[in-house]
Amino acid sequence: MSGCGGQHTWSKLGDPAKANVTNPVGTGSYVLESFSAQDYKFKANPEYYGGKPPVPELNFPAYSGNDSANLAMVQGEIDWTGQFIPNVDKVYTSKNPNNHYWFPPGNIFSLMPNLKDPILSQPVVRQAMSMAIDRNALSTKAEYGYEKPAQPYAVLPTSSSWVDPSLPEKDKKFTFNPTGAEALLEKAGYHKNASGVLESPNGTPLKFNLIVVSGWTDWDAEASMVAQDLKQIGIQVNVQQEQQGAYQSQLSSHKFQLALPASTGGPNPYYIDQALYSTKGGGNYEQFSNSSLDAALNAFAQTTDEAKQKQAMYQVERIVAEQLPTIPLVCGATWYEYNTSKYTGWPDANNAYVSPSLWSYPAAAIVVMHLKPVS
């Protein structure tokens, strides 16, 4: 929405960090019309260099969570959104022939451990936790089948051509095996105390707080189910539902033990792995650092030869699958619901010109400029 200003603008501004800009200079397709905590609006920029935007106004109302937003969507108050909705065919598309959705896989949703925690830093603990989690139940019950179970190498099904064909069988698929998880920890010197809670070899109980965003109902359901699964093998997890701002602050400052975040997405696995697992990755809240993985990602970025890029990604996949710096749960959906009564030109499975959800930057600007008013 913003652009560059000339000297005649900046020379009068003073300290940019303290300036109150009431008439900003921009080159985007829309300009801000009004803003409040409950709602903000953009109006089409009549001087947009790309031509007149087809939608005269964009209105972004705020909702407290999935439930209130879903109600507004079903009642026809929302034309375009991106959120989890249970029983979407029954609740949404059956109500109006103009109601549509498309949920392509777009990210890896994981149980993220803080690797600076002395217990969670142990690969054997993360492996046991992974074995104790029933991903099929998460997929079918918490996510209503929209999101399929993830794999150890953390690659989306849309990028299956990037998966190392020589991966060991153990690295190709997660196995739900609570009994095996307990045996693995017992062999490593962990034991249950009189309360049934596992303790490390030095007597530290395996008790952790798990943060998740309050109101994101599918995430909240997964958090509860993960806690119940881990309880079965003696790991005590306390789920803390946080407001999004507080949740993100704890992730960014690494002040958490366990978290449920979604990765970024991209046209191939590099974009997920670079953000999530590289030492300086923007989504590496778990604080994982592996020089071999960093070197492989750097090798990928230094070439456009797809064969060489794949060899680099094969190295990354093995490290991720064997060390489990995060514990992949499901392949997160790109939530996307839309109504065609006013506009056509929306992306769909047959015309996937952009990742379609509002929160998939820069999808919003691209989609809007593709829309055409219904005559």
C-alpha 320/C-alpha 315 separation (Å) is 9
Q: Tell me whether residue 2 is in a domain.
A: no
Q: Is residue 128 part of a domain?
A: yes
Residue 8 lies in a domain: no
Query: Is 236 in the same domain as 353?
Result: no
Residue 199 lies in a domain: yes
Is the residue at 10 inside a domain? no
- How many other CB atoms are there within 10 angstroms of residue 166's CB atom? 7
Residue 115 counted as domain residue: yes
Tens of pLDDT along 7-27? 776 777 778 778 887 777 778
Domain check: are 195 and 287 in the same one? yes
**Looking at the structure, do residues 122 and 90 belong to the same domain, yes or no?**
no
**Tens of pLDDT along 155-166?**
999 999 999 999
85 and 127 inside one domain: no
Shared-domain flag, residues 312 and 232:
yes
Residue 3 lies in a domain: no
**Same domain as 266, residue 367:** no
Residue 5: its pLDDT value, please?
61
CA dihedral for 212, 214, 218, 223, sign (positive or negative): positive
Residues 100 and 113 in one domain: no
Domain of 186, CATH number, reads: 3.10.105.10
Q: Model-level pTM?
A: 0.88
| 121 assigned to some structural domain | yes
Q: Can you give the CATH number for the domain in which 344 is found? A: 3.40.190.10
Burial annotation 131-163 (CB, 10 A radius, 16+ → b, else e): bbbbbebbbeebbeebbbbbbbbbbbeebeebb
Q: Which residues of the chain have pLDDT under 50?
A: 1-2
Instruction: Give residue 131's domain range.
Output: 105-328
Backbone angles phi, psi at 91, to 5 degrees: -80, -30
Q: How many domains does the chain have?
A: 2
